[in-house]
Chains A and B, each alone.
Chain A
Amino acid sequence: MTDHPPRAFEPRILGFLCNWCSYTGADLAGTARLRYPPNLRAVRVPCSGRVAPELILRAFDHGADGVLVLGCHIGECHYDNGNHRTAKRLPVVRALMSFAGLEPDRLRLDWVSASEGERFARIVEEFTETVRRLGPCTWRAGSPVVPAFASWSSVGAAPERPGGGG
């Protein structure tokens, strides 16, 4: 690896995509052969309402430079109103992030319906650009700023659960 010339910063972005709208929208972007940055690594969740604030912070904890949460448009949630919860939660998380010294723009919430492949691609592109401009996230697990999650570290620690590493 050392033989390679130093590359420009490529952000690592974690995407939480709801199963019914955004994940299908991403699928559509794929079947429609749309291009979008490969920086996004998607995690499928049943609903954007499943995305607990802890999960978002965990992502930053473990090396994400940005987190993108995508759900169904308001009023179109497969679970009636799961996304209403998300819409209320995420601004709080952003406020917390800025309180803890992490740029709130590294977290973005948006809505993509199952038929909006183009919108999905555009949002990923925009967000990748935003995070690229912000630069690498300096906050990593083990840094002393996040004592709140210490008690939580038994969950998901990669070494004990090799299956999670793929």
Chain B
Amino acid sequence: MVSVGRHPNIHLLAYSEVEAVSGYVGNFQVRVRRKARFIDEKQCTGCGKCAEVCPIEISNPFDLGLSTRKAAYRHTAQSVPNAYTIEKRGVAPCRDACPTDQRAQGYIALVRQERYADAYWAIRREHPFPSVCGRVCNHRCEDACSRGKVDEPVNIMGLKRFVSDWAYAHRDELPDLRDKSIVGTPFAHNPPPTGKKVAVIGAGPAGLTAALDLVRLGHNVTVFDSLTVAGGMMRVGIPPHRLPTDLLDWEIRQIVDEGVELRLKTRIDDVTGLLEQGYNAVLIATGAHSAKKLPISDANHPDNWLSLDLLRRVGSGERPDLSGKRVVVLGGGNVALDSARTTLRLGAKEVSMACLEPRGEMPGFTWEVGVAEREGVRLYPGRTFKEVIVRNNKVRGVRCVEVDFRGFKRGRPDLTEKPGTEHILPADLVIWAIGQGPDFSFLPPDGSINTLYPVGIQADSEMMTTMKGVFCAGDVRRGQTFFVVDAIGEGHHAARCIDRYVRGEKGLKEPQRSPVVDLTPQEIEAKFAREETSRRKRVSISSIPLEKRRGNFLEVDLALTEEEAQEEAERCLRCGVCSECLECLTACDRGAIHHEMADEIVDLTVGTIVLATGFQDFDPQRVAALGYGELENVISAMEFERLINASGPTGGKVLLRDGRPPKSVAVLHCVGSRDANYHDYCSRACCMYSLKISQLLHDYVGAEVHEIYRDMRCFGKGYEEFYNRTAQMGVRFYHGRVEKIERADGDGRLVVRWGEGFHGDPDHVVVDMVVLATGFEPRADTGKVAALFGVSRSRDGFFLERHPKLAPVETASEGIYIAGTCQGPKDIPDTVAQAGGAAAGALSLIDQGTIALEPSIAVVSSARCAGCGQCAAACPYSAITVAERRAEVNGYLCKGCGTCAAACPNKAVTLIHFDDTQIVAEMLGVLRLPEGLASREVAR
């Protein structure tokens, strides 16, 4: 194989598939799809470092599932070319669903391998705030998770939080980020500086993400924020009982450590001024920090608080005393829920929530509505607010009316008040959480940065506002509050656009993406069967008890324990196979890995073709009586070959499933062959390989061997002698057809029973292991390949030779040869001999340099041709062209089928050697036409 791989005249197109064949002998056009290996065959030295670091473990088909391999793999130890390949099925649905393109399958696999630091960096490549999205995300990844098709999605958010908590706990021992650097991508750390300056206004998730990406691309970035703390809504919008501030601060510190300059307490009021100061680009990412109120009476009384003010004060460390107070939170979204749960923790006596939407349609998370109610928040859904009641300069309550709410129409609520349902919700403090919008007061007053009322800042698809060089991202662009992941996703996008802008490149090229994997329930079941994933149920997040939640801001949800995280990570189905965690990219010393590699189409012009596509093993599971798949020590011959192979899963040891060597083994012949239920034909090689297996078992395992055969077919040179030698070794032979293999009572041994034995022979043996000599089958795609190359198949499904004796390697298609087991079952000597014959056939054509054309081709009589074109329409080879009302036949393309001759209405087309006169004459002859004979007799 190596010499074939190195031969200068042999071009080996491994990992490729023929897609189309056209032309004819001497001039075939073959279109080959070279599948993307994702590793450069020429650069790869086969060192295997990629496979070492690859976290994806799947069942190894080469070892028939007896071992596992990585997504980065080499087919066999002796592969030619000696290069690794990365198996990809596509983008995992979890990654596809995430706006930040988070490679969830990758970090889950790294968690599974207990490589928590690697998992942390895999997350941080796309996501600078794992602690946030491990806690407060709406986890669209879990909604998309393939596991949800069979039971429940993997707890991806829980795993992310586990990793971020682990990283925080081990923050002093984390390896240096630079070890994971991938230069030229947003994953480069300490890249060469570009000298470009970018200003980012707003230190929220969008702004900081963009800043980090830009710094990693080599730009100089300054982030401005008017608040005293960085983090934007993550810091001052999410209360500490959901997101502890120390983790977030640590993550922001890491961003600063990577080179982002952070200027807090700096409000920017002159965007144009920044450009004049020398910044090449400005990103506006100020978020949506202005909460709204309804214009009802006394809404401006000082005891009307804005939700965001409350959350900002708490986020900055303030703890306003609300003890004894009755609080009404107006609104039904996540901010309202956060405000309500925060006021409970600040000591409020009674907390109510009132909102327009009916129960079940509230915009807040349904689970969090439930949690808030359990914590003591009273819910008053489906009402609108008429007035804040103030008596003696103190708020007394909110007058409400119940409504039928039908959603929002053009930004306005569409509702009908229910008459006679007016009532008062008593309160000392009203908190408004009915939505928030961006603050545009800092934009230039001349309108050069256009805003879209009531939405956000106007921006094109490349995130640029109406002012050149000024970009915007996040809530300020959308005009309302979205999730943190959306802001991070927009931050990435803005960074890409700004990078191109400051480099002077035009047109945004999105990286090409593979299709999203959509596993069928059957494929998932197969993964369970191959033990690639566990059948365990989802591990859910637990919370601290309700009574511990009042008067403090202890984090409510608990992290997964390490055991739980392991259990949960094991549930991942590894949908995409390769997760693109990019671990291999940093491990490869040769720079051979290219994850964006695409399939390549190669067009070849060749004179002859040899098909040597081989066979497939008969699946012994089809013979239920043999118990293959159920009795664990019933194995196929191919599995035995892997076990006895020194580079196999056991390093050359034949072992029972419990790890013991077998003391006795039965070898069964004719599994799937010579059986009317499966295949009529004899697979020819099995008798001899069974004898070989018996000798190996005898010599290397020292087991007692029994062969149960139907007929010994030792037909080749030296084969009978091999059989005699095997018999002399002490291998026992029994004639019979095995009817049943079952478990022996008591011990786990196997009873093999057969009928029709020779007189006096036993009818069963009890053994430790059974090897099934499985027969040969045409490959499952033989029909497809046959159609592709225009080759016929014989009744058994294998390729059909032109003549069984006179043309055994040719096919009916001129110039296409067959060799080996694609033509029929055969052993290695026969295969080699046939391959030599096929090569000689091909070579003789090449050597002649000419081919004899079919003598029988169509010709057109121009005198009779009317140029109707019927013949051209009938021709399967487009060999006929009609020009100037005359048909003409291309003699090289014509194969002589005669369809044109039959189609011509004017008998202008004739087929040489099969013209009408000749066929009719033959007909007359075979029919022994009476009057013809009569006239001939007369003539005599």
Could you list which residues of chain A lie within 8 angstroms of chain B, going by C-beta atoms? 12, 14, 20-21, 41-43, 45-47, 49-55, 58-59, 62-64, 75-82, 85, 89, 113-116, 141-142, 155-156, 158-159, 161-166
Contact = CB atoms under 8 A, between A and B. Distances in A.
B903 interface: yes
B425 interface: no
A164 B793 CA distance: 36
B775 interface: no
A83 to B, nearest CB: 9
Interface string B885-906: 0000000000111110111000
Interface in B900-940: 901-903, 911, 914, 916-933, 935-936, 939
B800 A115 contact: yes
Contacts of B930: 63
A64 B924 CA distance: 9
Contact of A41 (B876, B901, B914, B927): B927
Contact of A55 (B920, B926, B933, B935): B920
B290 to A, nearest CB: 70
Nearest to A117: B795
Given A63-B930, A158-B932, A55 B916 contact: yes
A22 to B, nearest CB: 12
A41 B929 CA distance: 13
Contacts of A58: 920, 923
A148 to B, nearest CB: 13
Contact of A78 (B793, B812, B920, B933): B812
A28 to B, nearest CB: 9
A49 B922 contact: no
B856 interface: yes
B792 interface: yes
A162 B895 CA distance: 30
A30 B737 CA distance: 34
Contacts of A164: 917-918, 920-922, 924-925
Contact of B897 (A47, A55, A63): A47
B792 A113 contact: yes
Given A52-B916, A158-B924, A80 B929 contact: no
A52 B919 CA distance: 11
17 contacts: A14-B927, A43-B922, A45-B898, A47-B897, A52-B902, A55-B920, A62-B923, A78-B812, A80-B790, A114-B792, A115-B795, A155-B917, A156-B920, A156-B921, A158-B924, A164-B920, A164-B925
B874 interface: yes
B927 A62 contact: yes
A49 B874 contact: yes
B916 A155 contact: yes
B926 to A, nearest CB: 4
B795 A59 contact: no
A159 B929 CA distance: 11
A47 B858 CA distance: 13
Given A55-B920, A55-B923, 20 more contacts: A41-B926, A43-B926, A46-B896, A46-B911, A49-B899, A50-B901, A58-B923, A62-B929, A78-B792, A79-B895, A79-B897, A80-B877, A82-B876, A141-B931, A142-B931, A156-B920, A156-B923, A158-B929, A158-B932, A159-B935
B787 interface: yes
A165 B932 contact: yes
Given A52-B901, A52-B902, A159 B939 contact: yes
Contact of B902 (A43, A50, A62, A166): A50
A63 B920 CA distance: 12
Going nearest first, the 10 A-B pairs with the smallest beta carbon separation are A164-B921, A156-B920, A158-B932, A50-B898, A49-B899, A41-B926, A79-B897, A166-B925, A52-B902, A47-B897
B924 A62 contact: yes
Nearest to B904: A52
A163 B874 contact: no
A155 B794 CA distance: 39
Contacts of B917: 155-156, 161, 164
Interface string B785-828: 00100101111000010000000000011000000000000000
Nearest to B929: A62
Nearest to A41: B926
A46 B898 contact: yes
Contacts of B874: 49, 85
Contacts of A159: 932, 935-936, 939
Contacts of B922: 43, 164
A63 B923 CA distance: 10
A143 to B, nearest CB: 12
Contacts of A41: 926-927
A156 B897 CA distance: 21
B914 A46 contact: yes
Contacts of B923: 14, 43, 55, 58-59, 62, 64, 156
A162 B919 contact: no
Contacts of B856: 46
Contacts of B902: 49-53, 55, 85, 89
Nearest to B920: A156
Nearest to A159: B935
A45 B933 CA distance: 24
Contacts of B927: 12, 14, 41, 59, 62-64
A2 to B, nearest CB: 16
Contacts of A47: 897-899
Nearest to A43: B922
Contacts of B877: 79-80
Interface string B832-861: 000000000000000000000000100000
A23 B927 CA distance: 18
Contacts of B898: 45-47, 49-50, 82
A138 to B, nearest CB: 14
B925 A79 contact: no
Given A79-B899, A115-B795, A161 B921 contact: yes
Given A79-B876, A80-B790, A85-B899, A50 B921 contact: no
A58 B919 CA distance: 10
B914 to A, nearest CB: 6
Nearest to B813: A78
B441 to A, nearest CB: 74
A64 B927 CA distance: 7
A11 B794 CA distance: 32
